[in-house]
């Protein structure tokens, strides 16, 4: 018996990196998983991994920044599994520049993906959660649900060259605390995980210039080798975290042991904070 047997978990950005690790960890503990990714192939690959291990999952590819995405994502999960117990707002990326070199669209892009997308998803989810919670309370069988928003140490302490990303991730903290107060009456725990340096394709140490394609834009990724080594030297544990360690922080807020924890931010950063 897994801790999350019969639960339905929705995870954005679940096709790669931390999101993939979150999907696999929740599924390994019994959850049925609704896997989103910007691209269909990685989302489908994660679904196949879960199914091959005996679990259940469905892919919902698409951009979380599309105005209709929140409604479409929630509907797809309800159509597939008929329920909603966990929502992990993980999708995102960085697009860095100093403020004097940052146009409006670069700033707006970070707000859209890290803040507005979770807002739309949870607004859509409210149309299921609120009536379901009322019915469960009337029947004398309350169900505790979980929301885990993803922030960063850049959001808790700021970071040079990331005014857009840091602003969005800081706003996620306030969004989390506000929703925890709104949704407590519906037995929903709303928490936040703020990651430090986690080894993914976005933070890979390399002196070669690399990019990823995000909605038609080529976005630079990775860190110069010396820069990454410098960051790791500032981490008390002396290294970047793994995606599995990052997923562990999310998992802590999803299992029943955290049922009376809400409105909190957990820093998963090896002892480092900005």
Give me the catalytic one of 93, 165, 186, 260.
165
- Angstrom distance (rounded) from CA 58 to CA 15: 12
Alpha-carbon dihedral angle through residues 126, 128, 133, 136, given to the nearest 10 degrees: 180
CA gap 154, 40 in Å, rounded: 29
- Which residues lie closer than 8 Å to 174 by C-beta, 6 or more apart? none
Q: How far is 25 from 249, CA to CA, in rounded Å?
A: 11
| Cα distance between residue 17 and residue 201, in whole Å | 7
Assigned token pair, 36: 């989103």
**CA atoms of 35 and 76, how far apart (whole Å):** 10
Burial per residue of 38-59, b for 16 or more beta-carbon CB atoms within 10 angstroms, e otherwise? beeebbbbbbebbeeeebebbb
Helix (H, G, I), strand (E, B) or coil at 190: strand
Is 165 labeled as catalytic in the residue annotation? yes
Q: Are 177 and 109 in contact (CB under 8 A)?
A: no
State which H helix or E strand residue 163 sits in. helix 163-183
Catalytic residue positions? Answer: 165
């Amino acid at each position: 018996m897994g801790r999350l047997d019969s639960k339905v978990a929705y995870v954005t950005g679940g096709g790669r990196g931390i999101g993939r690790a979150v999907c696999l960890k929740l599924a390994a503990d019994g959850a049925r998983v609704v896997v989103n990714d910007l691209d269909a192939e990685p989302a489908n690959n994660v679904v196949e991994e879960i199914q091959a291990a005996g679990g259940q999952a469905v892919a919902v590819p698409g951009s979380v920044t599309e105005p209709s995405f929140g409604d479409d994502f929630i509907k797809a999960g309800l159509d597939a599994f008929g329920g909603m117990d966990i929502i992990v707002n993980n999708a995102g990326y960085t697009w860095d520049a100093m403020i004097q070199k940052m146009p409006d669209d670069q700033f707006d892009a970070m707000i859209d993906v890290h803040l507005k997308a979770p807002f739309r998803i949870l607004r859509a989810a409210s149309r299921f959660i609120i009536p379901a919670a009322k019915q469960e309370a009337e029947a004398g069988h309350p169900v505790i649900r979980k929301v885990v928003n993803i922030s960063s140490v850049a959001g808790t302490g700021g970071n040079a060259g990331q005014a857009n990303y840091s602003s969005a991730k800081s706003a996620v903290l306030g969004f989390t605390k506000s929703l925890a107060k709104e949704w407590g009456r519906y037995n929903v725990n709303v928490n936040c995980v703020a990651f430090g340096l986690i080894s993914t394709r976005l933070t890979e140490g390399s002196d070669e210039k690399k990019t990823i394609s995000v909605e038609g834009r080529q976005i630079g990724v990775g860190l110069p080798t010396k820069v990454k080594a410098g960051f790791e030297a500032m981490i008390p544990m002396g290294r970047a975290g793994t995606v599995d360690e990052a997923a562990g922080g999310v998992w802590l807020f999803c299992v029943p042991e955290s049922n009376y924890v809400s409105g909190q931010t957990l820093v998963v950063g090896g002892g480092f904070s900005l």
